[in-house]
Amino acid sequence: MHELNDIIEGCRNLNRNSQELLYRQFYGYAMSIALRYAQNKEEAIEILNDGFLKIFQHISEFDTTRPFKSWLAKIVVNTAIDHLRSKKRISFTEDITQVYDLGMDDKAMDKLSYDELLLLVQSLPPAYRTVFNLYVMEGYQHQEIAEQLGISEGTSKSNLFKAKKILKEKIEKATSYNTVR
């Protein structure tokens, strides 16, 4: 196994073997992020490939004293958001300042596999899915989401609330019928 710092140094020197090693080593992790934002696997692959292109173009900016995985994740998330914007599939029109938290049924969630849950998240409208992923999966705060997406904090909160509500309904329906659609 090659040391990550050696692989990164090779990528900085435009070494194709190092680029391939980095791609292979982080493909699964990056793909899991891309899949959360994409509507299907083909779109996720497009996001993934664009993300790795950006990683290779900007690898000289990576600070080796910081965790590489976090840097890579941020690039893939930003690439996914850019991709959704370019497809004009994200529209943020609502601004509700008071949104209440919606709890998920843990028992229902336990009945679903990761792949089934991923399909349900992918079925959300793009604006809701993006905010949901940034807040729940990536740990961003509403202020950060608002700045990154060019929306208000209220819109971010509203979209999260609606995403959770839709997911809750889909999870309850899927677990009651034991099928995911």
- CATH number, domain of 171, equals 1.10.10.10
Asked if 132 contacts 124 with a C-beta cutoff of 8 angstroms, the reply is yes
User: How far is it, in rounded angstroms, from Cα 61 to Cα 169?
Assistant: 43
- Of 88 and 58, the structure prediction assigns the larger pLDDT to 58
User: How far is it, in rounded angstroms, from Cα 132 to Cα 140?
Assistant: 10
Same domain, yes or no: 43 and 117 = no
Same domain, yes or no: 71 and 125 = no
Residue 101 lies in a domain: no
* Domain span at 157: 106-177
User: Which residue in this structure is represented by tokens 């910081």?
Assistant: 66
Residue 23 lies in a domain: yes
Domain count, the chain: 2
Same domain, yes or no: 114 and 72 = no
Same domain, yes or no: 81 and 132 = no
Residue 29 lies in a domain: yes
Residue 98 lies in a domain: no
User: Which residue in this structure is represented by tokens 């083909």?
Assistant: 42
Same domain, yes or no: 80 and 28 = yes
3-state secondary structure of 151: coil
Q: Which amino acid is at 162?
A: K
Same domain, yes or no: 23 and 79 = yes
> Closest by alpha carbon to 131, among 90, 176, 73?
90
What does the longest C-alpha to C-alpha distance in the chain come to?
Answer: 54
Same domain, yes or no: 77 and 126 = no
Q: What is the CATH number of the domain that holds 26?
A: 1.10.1740.10
Same domain, yes or no: 77 and 124 = no
3-state secondary structure of 5: helix
Same domain, yes or no: 14 and 53 = yes
Q: Which amino acid is at 136?
A: V
Residue 43 lies in a domain: yes
Residue 92 lies in a domain: no
Same domain, yes or no: 12 and 76 = yes
Question: Residue 178 has what pLDDT?
Answer: 56
Residue 99 lies in a domain: no
Same domain, yes or no: 10 and 77 = yes
Model confidence over 2-38: pLDDT tens digits? 699 999 999 999 999 999 999 999 999 999 999 988 8
Give the up-direction half-sphere exposure of residue 138: CA atoms within 13 A in the CB hemisphere: 31
Pick the range with the lowest mean pLDDT from 72-76, 92-96, 110-114, 137-141: 92-96
Model confidence over 42-77: pLDDT tens digits? 999 999 999 999 999 999 999 988 999 999 999 999
Residue 94 lies in a domain: no
Same domain, yes or no: 82 and 19 = yes
Give the up-direction half-sphere exposure of residue 54: CA atoms within 13 A in the CB hemisphere: 19
Inter-CA distances, 50 with 55, 62, 90, 135, 157, Å: 9, 17, 19, 23, 29
Taking the complete model, does pTM exceed 0.85, yes or no?
no
Give the up-direction half-sphere exposure of residue 126: CA atoms within 13 A in the CB hemisphere: 19
User: How far is it, in rounded angstroms, from Cα 136 to Cα 122?
Assistant: 14
Query: Which one-letter DSSP state was computed for residue 60?
Result: G
Model confidence over 141-153: pLDDT tens digits? 999 888 888 889 9
